[in-house]
Every structure is written in structure tokens, then in C-alpha cells.
Structure 1
């Protein structure tokens, strides 16, 4: 038996135990996990420093190092996230619906854990904590496989969480980390169909596509974010400027950052110079189509490849369109079904955009940066599902469950 198979067996055993736990015991354990993170802040930061230094030596770009970096504030945020998960309604045992059949059978559809969840992700150590907390709340064991860039951070975080579980008299194998970051081990994990019920990848579009193509375990696809903001002819331009800068600049390396801006031609001449100046003042490289460049000559010409690219960096591309219909058509062609936003004071335009855009989350007059489990009130998130089966959008504890039917009879037989 390989080490991965042993981990799988341990996870199944832990998952059975978790499925029987009451809400009070789960919440006590989550509180212990949250407190343990804060208590061990210095150890966590020390391990993280090694990862950050290695990333700098390997020439990883600044925006990606920001994803990797842990600070006392970020550790506190992760701890707060676990406390928010603790305060959420327990989805396990929740009745979705119930009815009685003509034959007198009482049928209820009840929420149950998925079982064992595999998380495979890149250089974001906060995923280790978010995934562990949400999976645990929903009664699932989790096997974590983070990227090599964050290995030291992930090891200490998983050790802290496991010890907190042990101190709570719960099987620590509810949370396990694969510390072998080789591609071979990752591939074996993706084929562990006897033990892992579902695999959730988080990372770049390229990374997620690789997992989707290679995995034999069922996948919930998450995360690639080629997100657009469309500024309508009836937009409040002051509002639009504030939203675009926030969506692009606050954290450009994350999947809900804006990568493209679409401008209606009627406001482009007035708005684009101000937008360009504001973006450049925030060190954002601005690319654009022929019409955008005609208004602002310093814009770098955009290529066809730009329209489908998730930059994860201080880069944005701008397109000028004739109508809202053209904007919708362009976005639906190039987006990754993640998050899209319209800036407009026209209710009819807003409803048209929100109805016709094909994405997990569609906004009116708000930054795409709000597509986040914590911002949605889920405490944390396991990822942003961009597919349509099982779950879509930010995935909290409820999305980490499935259902089963409980049927109560009184001697009925079928004729």
C-alpha cells in the first residue's frame, strides 16, 4: 500500500467519524483551530518567510508573491474566517424537502457530507486553512496538496490544525497534507478514485485545465477569472472609475480581479483619458483595441490573445463597443464564467446584462472583487466554481454536501 493509499484510508475513517459529530463538537474544534493559528503566528510567519525568500530567488513575479505572503493580519483573517465558519448553520442533517407518496411512504431529502475531498492548489497557503475549516464544518475529511512554493507554510499550518483537532478529541486525519510536491504524486492523487470522492483544484487557468484533463477523480472546476467591467452609456463615470481601480488594483493576482474594461462608445471619449491616467498612476499597463488607442495614443495595442487572457498582474485591456449587445456578445465569447459587472444607472440595461451574461456571478455597480466566500457571508470558501453542475459561484459549507433520500415505510411492498 502506498503512502497515498494509506492517507486515503485514514481520510475515509476520519470522514465516517466526522459524519456522526454533532454541531457543538464541530464548532468547538473550529474555535480551537482558529485560536491555534493566532497562538502559532510566529512559527507560521517563520516558515512562510522561507517560502517567500525562495520565491524571490526563483524570480516569481511580485503579484504572485503577494498571494504567498502571510502576515499577522492575514493569519488573523484566516482565524476570523474559521470563527465565521463556526457561526454558520450546520448544513448536515438539513432537510431540503419532504413529502408522502400515494403508497404512504414518507420521503425526506437530507443533506449529508460528500465524504473525502481532495484539494489541489497552487501558492496560496490561506487555502489550506479555508479548505480544512469548510470541509470539516460540512463533515468531510480533506486531503490537501499545495504547490511547492508554499510547502513550508502549508506544513506548519496543517500541523497546527491537526494538533487542534487532536486536542479536541477528534481524529486529526480529518485534515491531511501531502508533503511530496512532485508531479508524480500529484498525478497519483488525481487517480485516487477508491478514496477521494471529489477533487477541487484552485490556481491559474492553466493549472486548473491540467487537473481537469488528467484527473480520474470527479472534479469541481474552480477559479480562472478573465473578469470584465462594462461601462454603459448611462453610467455614473465617477462611480465607474472608483470601481474599476478597486477591481484591478486592490489585489491584481486573484481570480476576481478585473482583467478587461468594455466602454460604450458614447462615454469613451470623455471617460477613457481619466481612466487611463488613474490606471497608470497605479502602475497598471494599459492595452486596448484600435478605438481605445485612437482616444488615448499611449495605450499599447491589444492582440487577439489579450481578450482571452487572465493576467493576474498589473495589466488591463480596454475595448470600445457600439452597444450593450456588443458588450454582452464579447464578454460571453471571452470570459471564463467567473464574475462580470456592468456600471449603469439604467435599470433596463442592468437587467438585460445580468440576465444575458453567462457567468457564476454578475454585478451591477459593484467591483468584481466581492466574489468571495467570506464577502458573501460563507465565512470562507473552498473556491469559486465556474462550472454549472453541482455548485456554481463561491462554494461554502453547504456546497460541500450532497443529499440522500430517507424513506420511512410501514410494511409497503410494490405491486
Structure 2
């Protein structure tokens, strides 16, 4: 395939800029991000004005309501971006993390693993204009350059945020070429981006399942597979269903995207009809749509039966599917076959059941009697871009410095 000269040149510049980011050191990168946090807060009104243009154009183009929710910025959401950038700036330097390891070389005096930046990372995303700024913060802190490929629906917002980033890079020690916003209206740029292995070390797709699958299918560059929703909850016969209903409702409270939304509830067949009816009533009161497995038709005739494919795909429409199982082992088998595999949950009063579930369910994160609600800026822990699935050698879980660096093994004689 013959690559566009401009894209290849841009990627080369980014690759060179990543080395400059490494050279300015941890303090230089942190100061850069502190300035970026200040600028985002200062230009909040300009960002919101640009976002209004995107929203107006998207409504005229009949963009789906889900994407409009992801696209819509608020003063609080922009302020949260500034706070996240400030938090990233003050976090420990991820490149200072060295780990001693056993030496396989008999002549070696010491061996250790040093965290290093990947180089150039590409973010392919739709809606979510704030992700460009958050990804910039995480990448710069870890010494990486970043290529941003946003959607046409958020082009004004993305451009305004990119201009703020460019201004900060121009006026600080940062290398101006370490962040590039690629054209939103050129699909050939996306195709080239997915296969530019010579310069890009990792691609992160973020958005609807269709976008993520297209990137995975067409990319020759390594892909960090992100996931949104299609999380399962198993409710044991020993559990109180009010805990299960709280876990479901709270899992949807992360804004703007319910990354860890529980869309599928599997419950032990011994759970009483009265308790399940109460749980359903709680969910309906909170405006959730209910669908059932075929084996529940005789008990709950008022609800539609879920289609087979719905058990394996994100619904993203405030629906909850219900299914009874004979025991926890059957629940685990079903979850392993149908969930997205990034976050799954259990509600139980049995310690043994909790241990069995966490050991055998194929999931990057497991939640026991607690909500899986996702927060990009948690009170404790690092800022995260989203949630990744363990795949192709890349670790799953919150997308932070761990996925944006690699370990270089160093041996001293």
C-alpha cells in the first residue's frame, strides 16, 4: 500500500518529537501538563461554543442520540478535563519505575526492567471531544507522541482543543509535533493510520462497537481493544436482590459513557419470583427496559424475549436482560461465552462463591458485592482513558500508564 506522504511525514515528526519529550524529563513534562490544564480551564467558553456548533450540525445530520450524549460538553465536563490534566501532572513519573529481576547472564552484576515510552500512539475515536485532551495528558506524561483521529461529528470541538494543545506546546519546552489532530473528513487517512506499522506502535479505538471492530479487523498496527458495556452480574440465591438492583443502577452512573454498565443479569433459579419481581420493579422505576430469556416467558409474560445475539453484544440503551441458571458454574460458563470480558460482577453472601467466581470467570476486572461504576478520575488511583480488554499481549483494565509504556530489560556487567 502506498501511504500518503503527508501522513507518513506527520508520523515521522511525531516519532522524533517523542524523543524530545523523553529528553525534557519528568519535571518538564509535568510542567507542560500543568500549563495545559490552566489553558483548558481558561478557554472553557471557547470549547463550549465550538461544541455547540458540533451539536447543531449533528442534529441536522440525524446523528444517533447516544453519540449526541457522548458529544455534548458541559462546563462541568470541561472543568473535569482540566482537573484530570492537573492530576496527571502531579502523579509519579511512570518512566522512573524500575524493577530488579533475576539475571540469566552468569557474568551480569545486576539486571532490572525500566519502564519506557512506546513512541507514537494513535487514538481513533468518535464523539467524546474531551478524550483528545485526556489522551494527550496520559501520552505526554509517559513520553509518547499522539496522533488524534476524531469523527466529523466533533470536528469543531476537536479542533478547538487541539489548538489549545498546540499553543501550550509552542510556548513551553514541549515539542510542537508531539500531538497532531488528523483530518476528520478523510477516510483514507484512517485506513493509512491503521497500517502505518513503521511509525505507530499502538492504536486505541474508542466509541461504538462497530468502530472498534473495524479498527481491529483492518489494522496491522497493534490495537488496544477497548470495551463499553455488555457486563454481566450473577445474583446468587444467597444474595439480597436489592444489592443487585443497586449494582445495576449505579453501574450506569458514569458520565458520559457507562463503560461498565451491567446489561445482563443472571440469577440462581432458587431466587423467588417475588424477589425478582421486586428487582424488576426497581429497575423499571428507574426507566430501564426489561427483556427476558425464553425460559421466563411463563412467569413474566409482559416482557419481550431477548434475541440470541443480544446476549453477546453491548446494547447501550438502558436495557437489562434477565436469565435464570441452575448454579454458579452454569453462570460462569454463560458469562465466559457471552460477555465482553472486561468487567463482570457477582452478588453473593458466600465467600466460597465469590472466590469461585473471581477464579473462573474470564474477565479483566471482577466486582463482588459492589458496583463496577467506571470513573475516569477516581478519588484513589490514576486517571484512565477508558477500559481495555486483555488481548494480543496488551493488559486489560483501566487504560493508563501501564498500557502506554513497555519494559526494557537492562543488564549490567
How far off its partner does 1:204 sit? 2.0
Quickly say closer, same or farther: Cα 1:98–1:308, change in 2 above 3 A.
closer
Answering whether residue 399 of structure 2 is matched by residue 402 of structure 1, we say no
Superposed CA deviations along residues 214-269 of structure 1, whole A, max 9, x for unmatched, are 11212221224311111111112222221112224665853321111112122241
Question: What is the aligned partner in structure 2 of residue 361 from structure 1?
Answer: 365
**What residue number does 1:216 align with?**
220
From 260, 270, 273, the equivalent of 1:256 is 260
* Partner Cα separation in structure 2 for residue 106 and residue 361 of structure 1: 35
SS of structure 1 residue aligned to 2:177: helix
Q: Structure 2 length normalisation: TM-score?
A: 0.93
- Compute the displacement of 1:362 (Å): 0.7
Q: 1:379 to 1:37 in 2, by over 3 A?
A: farther
- In the alignment, what sits opposite 1:156? 160
Any idea what SS the aligned residue of 2:408 has? strand
Cα drift, residue 373 of structure 1: 4.7
Higher mean displacement: 182-191 or 283-292: 283-292
Number of residue-to-residue matches in the alignment: 408
Which of 305, 311, 336 matches 1:332?
Answer: 336
CA distance in 2 between partners of 1:250 and 1:22 (Å) = 34
Given the two structures, how large is their TM-score scaled by the length of structure 1? 0.93
Deviations 1:133-192 (A, max 9, x none): 101110000001011211111111111122122222211221111023322110011121
Counterparts of residues 127-142 of structure 1 (less than 5 Å): 127-142=131-146
Kindly report the root-mean-square deviation, in angstroms, between the aligned alpha carbons of the 2 structures.
1.9
| Structure 1, unaligned runs of 5 or more | 410-415
Bigger shift: 73-82 or 235-244?
235-244
Matched, 1:7 2:7: no
Cα distance in 2 between the residues matched to 1:3 and 1:378: 39
Residues 1:299 and 2:303 are matched in the alignment: yes
Moved more, 155-164 or 282-291: 282-291
* Equivalent residues of 1:85, 1:378 under 8 A apart: no
Q: CA deviation at 1:106?
A: 3.0
- 1:21-40 matches, within 5 Å, as 21-40=24-43
TM alignment of 1:67-146, pairs within 5 A: 67-99=70-102, 101-146=105-150
Name 1:288's counterpart in structure 2.
292
Q: 1 CA distance for matches of 2:132 and 2:272?
A: 43
Whole-angstrom CA distance in 1 between matches of 2:205 and 2:71? 17
- Counterpart CA distance in 2 for 1:29 and 1:126 is 18
Does 1:383 pair with 2:382? no
Offset of 1:209 from its aligned partner?
Answer: 1.3
Which residue of 52, 55, 58 maps to 1:52? 55
Question: In structure 2, what is the equivalent of residue 232 of structure 1?
Answer: 236
For 2:254 and 2:290, how far apart are their aligned partners in 1? Answer: 16
